[in-house]
Amino acid sequence: MQQIDSHILILSGPSGVGKTTVWEVLQQEYTSRLEKIVTTTTRAKREGEIEGKHYYFLSREEFQSRIDSGDMIEYALVHGNYYGSTFKELERIMELGKYPLYIIDPQGMVYLKPLLEHRSYTVQTFFLLPPSIEELRFRLSGRGTEHSEHLELRLANALVEMEEQDFYDHKIVNTDLNKTIQTLANIIFSK
């Protein structure tokens, strides 16, 4: 399975930098040109989740069959369930004439980019940065989901992740959402 001119986008950055918010706006404004990769999983569907929107839900046997057939680009066992992405999902998005977009953590990007490039995909990576560590602390604490020690761990992890920013094609400081969206769109659609 070789895709010579296939262009895949990876949006990454530390927790709390705004990846999900940026994606939600990108999706609204560029729905005909971009689509997020939907992950495949063996975990049970939760209330409110929609097949093909939040995840593709498979049995362990079906997931193993995808692994055996070579359809899984990447996968991992997390808390007893498999999660991964498929070539079938990439092809589905590309057949629609859209750019596939991964939204992943920096560790995932380091692993995923070489896998995709080895398959002759063109991969363009974007690293979102907070305006400052103080702003990142504010964003994470504003979620109301972080205990003090967990918040400090996330901030320490963010500092380590930000040291990897030079491995990305593009670095964007997410100070203003509209400017971030415009910068991303200008880069993505300039070719």
Output the domain CATH number for residue 123: 3.40.50.300
Q: Is the pLDDT of residue 86 over 90?
A: yes
CATH number of residue 47's parent domain? 3.30.63.10
- pLDDT, one tens digit per residue, over 122-163 is 999 999 999 998 888 888 887 655 577 778 888 888 888 898
Residue 159 shares a structural domain with residue 104: yes
**Residue 51's domain spans which residues?**
38-97
What mean pLDDT do residues 39-45 have?
95
Name the pTM for this structure. 0.84
Residue 51 shares a structural domain with residue 145: no
The pLDDT, as a whole number, for residue 67 is 96
Residues 6 or more apart in contact with residue 93 via CB below 8 angstroms: 35, 37, 99, 100
Residue 108 shares a structural domain with residue 153: yes
Residue 108 shares a structural domain with residue 180: yes
Per-residue pLDDT band for 4 (boundaries 50, 70, 90) equals very low
Q: Is the pLDDT of residue 190 over 90?
A: no
Residue 28 shares a structural domain with residue 107: yes
Per-residue pLDDT band for 79 (boundaries 50, 70, 90) equals confident
Q: Are 19 and 105 in contact (CB under 8 A)?
A: no
Residue 83 shares a structural domain with residue 113: no
Per-residue pLDDT band for 191 (boundaries 50, 70, 90) equals low
Residue at which a domain ends, from 59, 75, 97: 97
- pLDDT, one tens digit per residue, over 91-117 is 999 999 999 999 988 888 888 999 999
Cβ burial, residue 187 (10 Å; 0-12/13-18/19+)? middle
Per-residue pLDDT band for 2 (boundaries 50, 70, 90) equals very low
Q: How far apart are CA 45 and CA 160, in angstroms?
A: 33
Residue 53 shares a structural domain with residue 25: no
Q: Are 18 and 173 in contact (CB under 8 A)?
A: no
Residue 81 shares a structural domain with residue 111: no
Residue 50 shares a structural domain with residue 93: yes
Residue 28 shares a structural domain with residue 104: yes
Q: Which residue has the higher pLDDT, 27 or 61?
A: 61
Cα radius of gyration rounded to whole Å, the chain: 17
The pLDDT, as a whole number, for residue 78 is 83
Average pLDDT over the chain, rounded to an integer: 90
